[in-house]
Amino acid sequence: MNKILLIIQREYLTRVRKKSFLLTTILVPLIIIGFYAAIFAIAVSDDSAREKVAIVDDAGLFDAAAMADKGKDTSVTFHLVANETKESFKKKYHEQGYTAFVYIPAIDLNDPKGIELYSRAAVSLGTKDKIEDKITRAVELKRLAAANIDPSKYESIKANVRVESRIDSGAGGEKKSAEEAAYIVAFAAGLLIYMVLLIYGSMVMRGVMEEKTNRISEVIVSSVKPFQLMFGKIIGIGAVGLTQFFIWIILIGALQLVIPALMGSEMQPPTGADTEAVQQAKSSFMNDFSENMESIPMGMLAFAFVFYFIGGYLMYASMFAAIGSVSEDQQDAQQLIFPVMMPIILGFVIMVKAAKEPHSGLALFGSLFPLTSPIVMIGRIPFGVPLWQIITSMLLLVLFFVFCTWLAGRIYRTGILMYGKKGSWKEMLKWAFKRY
């Protein structure tokens, strides 16, 4: 046990003291906040690059009511052009500062076809959607007028119904259900574990390969057993990952508090009626989201996250260590790593579907199968999962982790001292089940 602790200490301190660790740990939060600040600055900047679209209306669709802007989006402005034909305006719309122009010929309101959009370059999908919405609104107004229906009455008749979900737990009463908040939390937690498995599992593999190529492992295994070396390396590098992970959380949280205070009014968006409405909408969304978070079993989610975080890392890190022990360079490792990477990728794919359909058969399978359960089960828990499924999933993960560690240990003790021969899965399985 003392030897394993020494190996853990060596692996941890060796990596934490590197300049690359310090630079990465500090730079990543700064880069994330930098992107965040850039996106925010673009979002609140004045819309000097808004698009101007002209309308040549031979059908007489557009009047004052149809030209009135509906909504708060001013990224595309529309201008009705009079006394122009399609051919004459096509030659000068660009010089007059228009991004594009729409030509509306005489059309049948019941079958509005033949409308054309002209521009020097392809317009964005968002711009085209806004143009189509504008024309659709004009057609609707003309149809309402033809049917002698008051548009204001029509608007008052339209409804936007929201259904409030509630979970009936029988004797335990009922509680509010929040599918949107659960989806966001599920996706974020599953994505985080997916990234951890890939990043720090690969780090274990590279660490083993470095010691093998530098012949350091030959010296170390003369004092400790290969299994002790492998297990100590896995725990030590995992501790490095956790340290870096928690530092990132603290730094990102601190920067989000400090940067707005330093920037002051520069970080505040411009005021105005439209902005006040947007701010009210954001405030309402955040209040609803906070309220919805209360319906998510955060205690169970936090416990499960830590369990699957540790269990998934240890299981996959042992496999990555086994691959690193039989590889002498990165090219050899890439040829062997595919069967280990596929379950991680598959788990993420199933998790995305499970976050939308948490009680489907595929989601159940993914949350019980040990190779995918660390990612998939986290994606299901925010929606409520029967306790027996969680317990079964955890037991299967523990059993499979023990099996993988035993298997990887047998491969590791042979592969770490094997030189001059390319490793293969056939050879690795032969070493794993060979009797000594």
What does the block give as tokens for 168?
A: 């009936």
| Residue 424 identity | S
- Check whether 289 has a pLDDT greater than 70: no
pLDDT, tens digit, for every residue of 402-413? 888 888 878 877
Two tokens, residue 158 = 């339209």
Convert 93-157 into a string of H (helix), E (strand) and C (coil). CCCCCCCEEEEECCCECCECCCCEEEECCCCCHHHHHHHHHHHHHHHHHHHHHHCCCCHHHHHHH
User: Is residue 436 within 8 Å of 253, Cβ to Cβ?
Assistant: no
Give the number of other CB atoms < 10 A from CB of residue 162. 5
263 alpha-carbon distance from chain centroid: 28
Q: What per-residue confidence (pLDDT) applies to 369?
A: 92
Structure tokens that stand for 111 in this block = 């079958």
Q: Identify the pLDDT of residue 392.
A: 94
Of the candidates 194, 144, 156, 224, the one whose C-alpha atom is nearest the C-alpha of residue 341 is 194
C-alpha of 70 from chain center: 33
Confidence band of 3 (pLDDT split at 50, 70, 90): confident
Closest CA to 234 of 99, 368, 333, 324: 324
CA distance 332 to 193: 26
At 57, is the secondary structure helix, strand, or coil? strand
Banded model confidence at residue 47, pLDDT cuts 50, 70, 90? very low
> Mind listing the domains of the chain with CATH numbers?
51-157 (3.40.190.10), 176-262+294-432 (no CATH)
Around Cβ 186, how many Cβ atoms within 10 Å? 25
Mean pLDDT value across the chain? 77
Identify any residues that bridge with 175 across adjacent strands, giving them in sequence order.
167
Rounded Cα–Cα distance for residues 234 and 204 (Å): 6
pLDDT exceeds 70 at position 119: yes
Query: Cα-flanking dihedrals φ and ψ of residue 165, to 5°?
Result: -80, 140
Alpha-carbon span 431 to 406, nearest angstrom: 12
Cα–Cα distance, 32 to 42 (Å, whole number): 16
Q: Residue 159: its pLDDT value, please?
A: 76
Using a 10 angstrom Cβ sphere, with 0-12 exposed, 13-18 middle and 19 or more buried, the burial of residue 255 is middle
Q: For the segment 140-187, what is each residue's pLDDT rounded down to a tens digit?
A: 888 888 888 888 888 788 777 776 666 555 545 455 555 666 777 777
**C-alpha separations of 135 from 73, 118, 125, 141 in Å:** 16, 15, 15, 10
CB atoms within 10 A of CB 200: 22
| 284-310 mean pLDDT | 70
The band of 266, judged by pLDDT with boundaries at 50, 70 and 90, is: very low
Phi, psi of 77 (to 5 degrees): -110, 145
Tell me the three state secondary structure of residue 246: helix
Q: 216 near 333, Cβ under 8 Å?
A: no
Q: What is the mean pLDDT of residues 79-105?
A: 86
Spatial distance between the Cα atoms of 209 and 298, rounded to a whole number of angstroms: 39
pLDDT, tens only, 219-248: 676 677 777 777 788 888 888 877 877 887
Given a cut of 90, whether residue 254 has pLDDT beyond it is no
